């Protein structure tokens, strides 16, 4: 084992103690048992119930969004958010090449084609200078709409993803999107509790989406939500995710082809209890980030990724970025960390290189490729801050 790898493992051990330590695990320390038991006791366990309504209300209140629509997972949320935001079959949607596969899959499920964009080393998300330069090269404007001059398809939307909870430059994105007539649909799946210029992520675009998978800031077991300030988009999202059933006491009339993406009351009950504790979860993650920052401050060859000025990150996954000349140690470091019982992982393979998407349009991706070779996520559970 190289001295560099040994020093990184020792730094992680100094923060979280001895292994085994999970990458990110949920904590159930509040009203989860009571709320779930209420569902069981009353029989309201399925797709309607008071906890669904409460969860949507509480999410809107917490994020500052006008409306929240709870759904079965984040991928479904993004698919429907794209649809209600005007994405149609045959369109292209600009997405970061470095993201979880759900970002591209949701575009495909909406009938569109993902179009991959490079990353920014400081935000880890979509690079706004790279996006603007690429659009300047590929866009042909027709009657106020952007078209890809190489494929002939309309560029309908752009989907920023706030990687590991670090917000992208949303001000620059808004200006670029306005210039080209692109709908902004935020993939805020990883950024509950993150803010840009004092405003919660997921509330800047036409729609934003959240995820409540078991490894997220809060969990409903599975689950997601669509955020929007537009009452009509919220109404339509709710309609499409609940089988497009017309309201009636007993009849089953469905006025369009839609989806059964309803979040069960049982899961919403769990989410309500989790959301009551989100402040404590975020505080724990921030304390853990501060401990990691101190541990890695004087270690050469690696940088702990911190929030940028003007942003507040939720530190969903604590992240190390190896120097370019230390990228060769990444796999040895991952092996050593996991062998020591500290569950760690690299970032996702670039979406543009996955078999389903190799023929999709893409900009130059040099920064994303470099980041993909240098990122390491280390144990991130909020409770580790006080271990």
- Provide DSSP, 252-267: --B-S---B-BPPHHH
Q: Is the pLDDT score of 321 beyond 80?
A: yes
Measure the CA–CA gap between 103 and 144, rounded to whole angstroms.
26
**Given this model, what pLDDT does residue 259 score?**
97
Least confident segment among 127-131, 174-178, 245-249, 269-273: 245-249
The answer to whether 155 touches 140, Cβ cutoff 8 Å, is: no
Strand partners, 240: none
pLDDT tier, 61 (very low <50, low <70, confident <90, very high otherwise)? very high
The answer to whether 160 touches 170, Cβ cutoff 8 Å, is: yes
Q: Is the pLDDT score of 387 beyond 80?
A: no
For residue 74, give every residue at least 6 positions away whose Cβ sits within 8 Å of its Cβ, in sequence order, or none.
102, 189, 209, 210, 211, 212, 213, 223, 224
pLDDT tens-place string over residues 225-273: 999 999 999 999 999 999 999 988 899 999 999 999 999 999 999 999 9
Output phi, psi for 277, to 5 deg.
-105, 5
pLDDT tier, 1 (very low <50, low <70, confident <90, very high otherwise)? confident
**Given this model, what pLDDT does residue 52 score?**
98
**Terminal Cα-to-Cα distance of the chain (whole angstroms):** 27
pLDDT tier, 375 (very low <50, low <70, confident <90, very high otherwise)? very high
**Given this model, what pLDDT does residue 386 score?**
85
Give the start-to-end residue ranges of the domains of the chain.
3-28+278-386, 32-275
Q: Span 288-312, mean pLDDT? A: 97
Q: Which of 386, 382, 363 is nearest to 126 (CA)?
A: 363
Measure the CA–CA gap between 218 and 207, rounded to whole angstroms.
20
Cβ count near 252 (within 10 Å): 8
Q: Span 33-56, mean pLDDT? A: 96
DSSP state of 242: B
Topology given in CATH for the domain delimited by 32-275: 3.40.640
pLDDT tier, 385 (very low <50, low <70, confident <90, very high otherwise)? confident
pLDDT tens-place string over residues 161-170: 999 999 999 9
Burial 28-46 (b: 16+ CB within 10 A, else e): eeebbeebbebbeeeebee
Measure the CA–CA gap between 257 and 237, rounded to whole angstroms.
13
Helix axes 74-84, 101-109, angle to 10 degrees: 40
Q: Is the pLDDT score of 144 beyond 80?
A: yes
- Bond from prior residue into 20 cis (ω within 30 degrees of 0): yes
Q: Span 184-197, mean pLDDT? A: 98
Helix axes 278-296, 3-16, angle to 10 degrees: 140
For residue 184, give every residue at least 6 positions away whose Cβ sits within 8 Å of its Cβ, in sequence order, or none.
157, 158, 160, 173, 174, 177, 204, 205, 206
**Given this model, what pLDDT does residue 47 score?**
85
Give the Å distances, CA to CA, from 99 to 85, 95, 159: 21, 8, 11
Please give the helix or strand (H or E) that residue 333 lies within, else none.
helix 330-339
pLDDT tens-place string over residues 73-99: 999 999 999 999 999 999 999 999 999
Strand 311-312 to 207-211 pairing? unpaired
**Given this model, what pLDDT does residue 352 score?**
98
Output phi, psi for 141, to 5 deg.
-85, 130
Q: Under CATH, which architecture does the 3-28+278-386 domain have? A: Alpha-Beta Complex (3.90)
**Given this model, what pLDDT does residue 135 score?**
98
Strand partners, 141: 146
pLDDT tier, 27 (very low <50, low <70, confident <90, very high otherwise)? very high
pLDDT tier, 42 (very low <50, low <70, confident <90, very high otherwise)? very high
Q: Span 303-317, mean pLDDT? A: 98
The verdict on pTM exceeding 0.95 is yes
- Concatenated DSSP letters for 114-151? EEEE-B-TTTSSB-HHHHHHHHHHHEEEETTEEEETTT
Strand partners, 92: 113, 155
């Amino acid at each position: 084992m190289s001295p560099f790898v040994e020093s990184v493992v020792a730094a992680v051990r100094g923060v979280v103690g001895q292994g085994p330590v999970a990458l990110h695990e949920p904590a159930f320390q509040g009203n989860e048992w009571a709320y779930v038991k209420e569902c069981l006791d009353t029989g309201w366990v399925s797709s309607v119930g008071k906890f669904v309504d409460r969860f949507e209300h509480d999410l809107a209140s917490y994020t500052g969004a006008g409306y929240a629509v709870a759904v079965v997972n984040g991928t479904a949320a993004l698919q429907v958010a794209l649809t209600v935001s005007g994405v149609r079959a045959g369109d292209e949607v600009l997405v970061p090449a470095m993201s979880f596969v759900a970002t591209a899959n949701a575009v495909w499920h909406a009938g569109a084609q993902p179009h991959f964009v490079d990353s920014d080393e400081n935000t880890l998300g979509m690079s706004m200078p790279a996006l603007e330069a690429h659009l300047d090269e590929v866009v042909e404007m027709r009657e106020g709409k952007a078209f890809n001059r190489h494929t002939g398809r309309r560029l309908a939307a752009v989907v920023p993803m706030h990687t590991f909870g670090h917000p992208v430059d949303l001000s620059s994105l808004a200006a670029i999107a306005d210039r080209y007539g692109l709908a902004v649909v935020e993939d805020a799946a990883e950024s509950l509790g993150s803010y840009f210029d004092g405003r919660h992520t997921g509330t800047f675009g036409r729609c934003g989406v959240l995820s409540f998978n078991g490894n997220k800031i809060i969990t409903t077991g599975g689950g997601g939500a669509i955020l929007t300030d537009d009452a009509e988009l919220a109404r339509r999202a709710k309609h499409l995710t609940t089988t497009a059933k017309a309201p009636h006491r007993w009849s089953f009339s469905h006025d369009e082809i839609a989806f059964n993406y309803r979040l069960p009351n049982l899961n919403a009950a769990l989410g309500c209890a989790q959301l009551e504790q989100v402040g404590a979860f975020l505080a724990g993650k921030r304390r853990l980030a501060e401990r990691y920052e101190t541990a890695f401050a004087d270690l050469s060859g690696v940088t702990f990724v911190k929030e940028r000025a003007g942003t507040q990150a939720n530190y969903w996954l604590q992240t190390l970025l190896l120097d370019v000349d230390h990228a060769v140690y990444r796999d040895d470091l991952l092996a050593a960390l996991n062998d020591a019982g500290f569950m760690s992982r690299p970032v996702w393979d670039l979406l543009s290189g996955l078999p389903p998407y190799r023929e999709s349009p893409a900009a130059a991706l040099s920064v994303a490729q470099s980041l993909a070779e240098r990122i390491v996520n280390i144990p991130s559970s909020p409770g580790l801050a006080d271990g």
